Chain A
Amino acid sequence: MSIKETEELILNMGPQHPSMHGLFRMVVHLEGETITKIEPKLGYLHRGMEKLAESRTYAQFIPYTDRLDYLASPHNNWAYVQTVEKLMGVEIPERAEYLRVIFGELARIASHQVMIASTALDMAGWSAWSYAFRDRERICDMYEMTAGSRLTVNIMRIGGMSAEPPEEFWPALKSFLDDTPEMLEEYYGIFFGNEIALGRLKNVGILSKEMAENLSITGPVLRASGVDYDVRKAEPYSIYDRFDFKVPVRTGCDSYDRTIIRMDEIVESIKIIKQAVRDIPEGPVMAKVPKVIKPPAGEVYHRVENPKGELGFYIVSDGTTKPSRVRIRPATFINLQMLPIVALGWKIQDVVAIFATLDAVLGEVDK
């Protein structure tokens, strides 16, 4: 009997698959268990945000931005309202700026907690998942106190914040900040100290520095490849130039560094929130903005550092109450381009690890 030739196996992963973080689908070509080609298929959650924006007024579009990266919705609000404010030349009150920083950094912590939890889950670590989600609940509670909802908070307005946080917000925030060192200790112990997790993540999926720059990668994925770049430092928006914090950079370029860099970022976010709580002034949270928002004709591109990378809005106004074009530059959509390149030659289980460390949220990828 002759030996049969090996045949290429085509495997479809997703869109309904627990490790696909939403509705992501990829067609994987396998030679044995080794990957020879990956074709990501996007669009299962495409809602046509950019088209919807053209038929809504500027203020009406704010709730839609919540649905982009739904794990860090205050950030999406922030990017959008700041772009409109830049276009109109609106100055917002000091207190609102500080509140935006507090909620933005809380969202960053919550988003990174979900990332750590879901990466642990993809590595079959159920218990680590429950620890991070337990702590994230407290941030959701703080959202709920202020804005009334827990996930898509819609907390910012053109010209300030939707509401002043209630009295019970401040003690809740303080106790959360006091407990964070203990929380991080637990994550380190249960996930990053786990040999199975380390084996699945260390030296898996190397993304070199040159490759990352050429692929327009941003955010923690770029910084884990040894590039010191953060929009908060490079082009400080809002009041980030007033705070003392570091940008964590790691040079391992592998899945492990892409995961643990989020832990470093949580530490820095806590530092920023503590400084903001210390310095926050009294005053109104909303500027005087005309009832009908009608920016002058013009165009502006503005970007913020979303937990996943750089989120940019490019708005073209024609001088009417509705935007002529709203372009969303989603961070993870562009970061996702590394997956078919980096995963080549790895085994099928490594693709799950590489995809998890990208921290893709399909609401943002598919818009």
Chain B
Amino acid sequence: MPLLVERIEQGTVIDRIEAFAGIHVLEILKLVPSNQAARQSEASGNEKSSRSPASPAKPDLAHRVALVINVPSRHMGRKDILKIEGREIKPVEANKIALIAPRARLNVIRAGKVVQKVDVKLPSKLEDIAACPNPSCISRLEREASVFSAEKGRLRCAYCERLFSTYELVV
């Protein structure tokens, strides 16, 4: 029996997300309370600095969201699909999801129709995507946001200069 998900009139459908990566896409787009933010908050309790480490902005929890996981796909074998009602994700914002879903396609929906299709592309510079995993990095101890540059599929922290895999940052 097919799995039915309601159509949306206005908002965004993100297709071609790597299977099982959709849950992390929700976190990156701040559509759910972030586990990472909670972990960071817990960790900061043990640090000497009075400042919190780099943490994502507040989540936007005002929208209905459907995440379909492990859907059969002709091109990808299996994929996840994310439907967000009432919020148009800007391509710049969506590019951040290229970290874990490099083949994802953004479909902007208005009046029930697709009005724009954009394939995500990893930007050369990513700000405030996640805290730097290096506990000795100044961005965790003092600065209130992180900055990474993309280098051949990995990300280099602009401060401590260490390289991380995308999964180390996001998952």
A binds B: no
